Amino acid sequence: MTTLPVGASPARQDVLARRIRLLVAATISYNVVEAGVALAAGVVASSTALLGFGLDSVVEVASAAGVAWQFAGRDHQRREARERTALRVTALSFFALAAFVIVDAVRALAGDGEAQHSPAGIVLAAVSLAVMPVLSVAQRRTGRQLGSASAVADSKQTLLCTYLSGVLLLGLIANALIGWSWADPIAGLVIAAVAIREGREAWKGDACC
């Protein structure tokens, strides 16, 4: 349940809500591009990690869309009622992502397809590693000021994308430079494990503040 900061006036709440909507729009725009590039590169390279990263971007779009839906309009009570639904959508998206990546990683480790090198994936991971922390900090600060668990949960999902960008980058570089094709599905399993943890927190509503 949302707990608004003590002394936050309706006018201040509206300012913060508008800021969240702008941040959500930026997050959705970037992640749509990120998802398209990662999924296409993942299919071409048979990369579990890239596919997982692309699906995580899809989850981020769903999560951000849930926050946008929550903050549509000016009815503060309706925002609170929608928050639980937004958190559940985020949690279920995380669990679906984890299930897919685990199955695909196990398949890859069993020898069914070897990940190829992906220069496009390396560039994408490096760019995301630079962009995502900025969005996450802005989202978290605004969400905490407003007292919105769903906005803070979305900022954590954006921060998760930062961590996953680093994991993905290491896995792709290890495969490209050293030939460690097994590093790709291992990176995918790391992505799945973190997604499960974040999904559990979102489901319980432990994201704020």
Q: What pLDDT score was predicted for residue 80?
A: 67
Q: What is the pLDDT of residue 8?
A: 56
Residue pLDDT, tens place only, 149-164: 777 777 877 787 888 8
Question: For residues 186 and 181, what is the distance between their CA atoms, to the nearest angstrom?
Answer: 9
For the segment 167-177, what is each residue's pLDDT rounded down to a tens digit?
889 888 988 88
The string of pLDDT tens digits covering residues 163-207 is 888 888 988 898 888 888 888 888 888 878 888 887 888 787 655
| pLDDT-based confidence at residue 120 (cuts at 50, 70, 90) | very high
pLDDT for residue 7 is more than 60 = no
What dihedral do alpha carbons 150, 152, 156, 159 form, nearest 10°?
130
Distances (CA, A) of 17 to 91, 143, 146, 151: 22, 9, 8, 10
Is the model's pLDDT at 26 over the cut of 70? yes
Residue 34 has what pLDDT? 92
175 Cβ contact list (under 8 Å, min separation 6):
115, 117, 181, 183, 184
Q: What is the pLDDT of residues 45-87, one digit of tens each?
A: 888 888 888 888 887 787 777 777 766 655 666 666 677 777 7
Q: What is the mean pLDDT of residues 91-95?
A: 83
CB-side exposure of 159: number of CA atoms within 13 Å? 14
Predicted confidence band of residue 38 (pLDDT cuts 50, 70, 90)? very high
| pLDDT score, position 73 | 58
pLDDT at residue 209 in the model: 43
Indicate the residue type of 113.
Answer: G
Contact 60, 157 (CB under 8 A): yes
Average pLDDT over residues 116-130: 91
pTM: 0.71
Q: Exposed, middle or buried: residue 26 (CB in 10 Å: 0-12, 13-18, 19+)?
A: middle
Give the tokens for residue 149: 């668990």
